[in-house]
Each structure stands twice: as structure tokens, then as C-alpha cells.
Amino acid sequence: MDFTLSEQQIALQQSVRKFAQQELPAIAKQIEESDEPPGIELRKRYAELGYLGVNLDEKYGGAGMSHLDAVIVLEEIAKISIAVAFPIFESCFGPSLAIAHFGSDRLREKFLPRVCSGEIVVAVSMSEPNAGSALTDLTTQAQVESGRVIINGNKRWIGNSTHGDYIILWARNTETKKVQGFVVDLHSEGITKVKIEGKMALRSVQNGDLEFKDVFVPADAKLAKADDFATGANEILKASRINVAWAAVGASIGSYDACIKYVT
């Protein structure tokens, strides 16, 4: 297998690196010191440069490029700080991939252009107090009725839940007992958010506990092509976890470069 980057990918890498080194250090410092998430101004700047939704279809506002192109952008920005790289990850992988792969045309048209423009933040809601990596143990319930879904349960360690606009909620269908995905408005009545304080790292990615009490979601907010854990949440985990590792690689390279600069 040939791992050599193409000329276009090298050019992309160099342009992102130049932007990141020139514009992001001061922003990253401010974010990390304030424990606040990246604001809409930074997301809009990323959108202007085409860094949001790099691998999403152009008809939804993405760049129509490959997953490799997306991780090139992610890695270069993570070299400065994962604090400023997280919007790239969430627009290219995680929640955005869930909508792109499993959502209806209506959901794609409604949400993906707004993610790619930097207008909204969409997060992922999987983990629970008693179900971390073992997502087959999820207990949050989704009761499907005519025209709507009623959500009840608790989620824990949900990144960007305190300030995001929507989440991809993975819950257990009370009728089929299968884990399915739903796009949920975080401003819906019945949702209680509690920020988790005192994190050792990634404080800009504000994690929180979420409680759902009779939260009503439209039936068409279901990710139609994610019928169960195997075809839905598990596929997103497989696609996303390796790309989280790319961000860690970028942060590691950035740390190494900073050390070399300091001692020479």
C-alpha cells in the first residue's frame, strides 16, 4: 500500500500548516486559559477556508474531498492544540458522519450545510453512567409513537453538550430493544444539562451530564438507516475512533516541535 501523499494533499497540508501557525496559537491560548469552547468566529473562519466538512458532499456545503484529506486538516490544526481542532473533528467525523451516512435526505439538507458553514454545533451522545465503552448496555429509552419519539434517560461525559445546538442521541427503542440514533435539539424542554467541572485536560470541550425527561422528538429525526447497534453506532465508532487518534498524533507532533524549539 502506498502511503505517499499526492501533490494536492501536500499542498493542502502546507496551506493548513501555514494558517494554523499564523492564526491559531493566540486563539488556542485564550481558549485553554478560559476553559471556554471555540466560538462561532473561529468556526466561521474555518468554514471560509473550507476546513469544516472537508469530506462531506459538496451539495451539503462540504468540500467533497476524502477522509484522508480531512485528517490532514485535523492533524495540522491539532499540532497547535486539540482545543482548536475539535470543531474540525465534529464537522468531518462523529456526528456529521452519522447524519451523512444514516440520515434521511431531509436531515442531511437541514443540518449538514449549517455544520459546514459554522452556524451550529452538533455533538454525539453515547456514554451513560453505567455504559461507557460497552454501548450495547445503553438504557436511555426511545419510545416511538405516531409522529414523535419520547426520550427518557441519562447520558454522561457528553462533549459539547453544555453549549451545542443538537446531539446525535443513541438510545434503545422500547419496542424493538435495538439501539438507534436520533437528532435531538439540545434546547428541547425536558433536557437538564450539568457541566462536569475540574477536568485535567480538554477543558474547552465541555463535557456534561444530560438528563432526559419526556423529551419529545419528531419521528423523522430518527437516523433512518441506523436500525441497530451493529449498523449504526458501531459503524460510527469504527469510523471516528481512528480519526480521534489522528488528532492525538497531531498534538504529539506539536508537543515535540515545541520542545525542540524550546531547547534550541
Would you call 119 exposed, middle or buried from its count of C-beta atoms within 10 A (0-12, 13-18, 19+)? middle
pLDDT over 90 percentage in the chain? 80
Q: What is the pLDDT of residue 187?
A: 97
The predicted-structure confidence for 28-84, as pLDDT tens digits, reads as follows 999 988 888 999 999 999 999 999 999 999 999 999 999 999 999 999 999 999 999
Residue ranges and CATH numbers for the domains of the chain are 7-120+236-263 (1.10.540.10), 122-225 (2.40.110.10)
**pTM for this one?**
0.93
The predicted-structure confidence for 1-38, as pLDDT tens digits, reads as follows 677 999 999 999 999 999 999 999 999 999 988 888 99
Grid cell locating 180: 438507534
